[in-house]
């Protein structure tokens, strides 16, 4: 049987692998396909496609858009979208600037609310050319000695509803879903356990959501079955993946959670694609 990992990140967002390294890891894991779903950017897709030529590994275009709903972050995956679409590119540039400005706001609130003082340059030094996010702030906090782990940084300081949390995203889930569909992609709810409220899922379905990430490292078997049942009830596609970030999440490797390749085929079918497309 052929397998895919439909949730991996590169150094173009908050992963540590270059696109080429990610492809090499996918080949080493024996996968048939990976989907690069960097946060709010598609810049890593083309380099990954180029790196995959002749490797036998298929790179499925993707993105993980950040939206906000009732004060909490909601992540919407977009599969098979046209990553070369200039209109998509323009809107993503706006998100990239939102992310940069949000770093200053979080660090200001972090210092005022907790006394922890982190230099913004330290955060941007870690994020490099990629889109910057809270994981980079957490890594800077670890490097400064302010916390002992990324988990502690999120749990005590910068996680949703934590003392230094700052919203800063212009998209609602409905807008993120619309942007993906306008770019010919398939919008899928990422790691739905993080919602903390499964009753929200039908609302997103009404907004045009087409799939749900039922298979995820932090889903128990019981939770996975809940999301599989919701997918069947609402006619949603099913996806899954490791959420590999390279050394940023050292216990999670490419392909450590994999799904049957026929889920990729179903995504293609929903978009009207064939294996020869």
Own/partner pairs, 145-151, CB within 8 angstroms, 24+ separation: 146/116, 146/118, 150/248
pLDDT (tens digit per residue) in 108-165? 999 999 999 999 999 999 988 888 989 999 999 999 999 999 999 999 999 888 999 9
Predicted local confidence at residue 98, as pLDDT: 87
- CA 143, CA 155: separation in Å to the nearest integer? 17
CATH architecture of 93-158: Orthogonal Bundle (1.10)
Phi, psi angles (nearest 5°) of residue 97: -70, -40
Predicted local confidence at residue 277, as pLDDT: 38
Predicted local confidence at residue 2, as pLDDT: 98
Residues of the chain with pLDDT under 50: 274-277
pTM confidence score: 0.88
Tell whether the torsion through CA atoms of 187, 177, 38 and 223 is positive or negative: negative
Predicted local confidence at residue 148, as pLDDT: 94
- CA 130, CA 250: separation in Å to the nearest integer? 19
Q: What is the DSSP letter of 107?
A: H
Predicted local confidence at residue 115, as pLDDT: 95
Tokens of residue 275, six digits: 């294996």
CATH class of 3-87+171-271: alpha beta
Domain parsing of the chain, residue ranges = 3-87+171-271, 93-158
- Stretch (H or E) spanning 35: strand 33-36
Predicted local confidence at residue 274, as pLDDT: 43
């Amino acid at each position: 049987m052929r397998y895919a990992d439909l949730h991996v990140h590169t150094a173009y967002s908050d992963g540590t692998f270059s696109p080429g390294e990610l492809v090499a890891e996918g080949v080493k894991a024996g996968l048939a396909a990976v989907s690069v779903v960097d946060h709010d950017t598609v810049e890593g897709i083309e380099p990954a496609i180029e790196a995959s030529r002749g490797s036998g590994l298929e790179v499925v275009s993707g993105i993980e858009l950040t939206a906000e709903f009732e004060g909490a972050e909601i992540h919407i995956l977009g599969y098979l979208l046209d990553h070369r679409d200039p209109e998509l590119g323009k809107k993503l540039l706006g998100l990239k600037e939102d992310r940069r400005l949000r770093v200053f706001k979080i660090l200001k609130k972090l210092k005022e609310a907790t006394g922890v003082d982190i230099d913004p340059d330290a955060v941007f030094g870690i994020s490099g050319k990629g889109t910057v996010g809270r994981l980079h702030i957490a890594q800077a906090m670890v490097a400064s000695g302010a916390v002992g782990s990324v988990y502690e940084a999120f749990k005590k300081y910068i996680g949703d509803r934590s003392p230094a949390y700052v919203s800063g995203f212009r998209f609602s889930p409905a807008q993120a879903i619309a942007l993906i569909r306008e770019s010919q992609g398939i919008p899928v709810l990422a790691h739905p356990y993080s919602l903390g409220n499964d009753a929200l899922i039908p609302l997103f379905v009404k907004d045009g959501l087409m799939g749900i990430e039922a298979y995820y490292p932090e889903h128990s078997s019981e939770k996975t079955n809940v999301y599989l049942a919701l997918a069947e009830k609402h006619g949603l596609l099913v996806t899954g993946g490791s959420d590999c970030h390279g050394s940023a999440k050292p216990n999670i490797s490419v392909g450590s959670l994999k799904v049957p390749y026929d889920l990729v085929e179903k995504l293609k079918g929903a978009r009207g694609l064939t294996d020869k497309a």
